[in-house]
Amino acid sequence: EVQLVESGGGSVQPGGSLKLSCAASGFAFSSHCMAWFRQVPGEEREGVAAIRYDMITRYADSVKGRFSISKDTENNTLYLQMNNLKPEDTGMYYCAGDHYCREGFLRLMSAFVEAWGQGTPVTVSS
pLDDT class of 36 with cuts at 50, 70, 90: very high
The pLDDT value recorded for residue 55 is 95
The pLDDT value recorded for residue 106 is 93
Exposed (0-12), middle (13-18) or buried (19+): which is 73, by Cβ within 10 Å? middle
Please check whether residue 106 is in contact with residue 58, taking contact to mean a CB–CB distance below 8 angstroms. yes
Per residue in 39-93, pLDDT (tens digit) is 999 999 999 999 999 999 999 999 999 999 999 999 999 999 999 999 999 999 9
Region 13-34: mean pLDDT is 95
Per residue in 2-22, pLDDT (tens digit) is 999 999 999 999 999 999 999
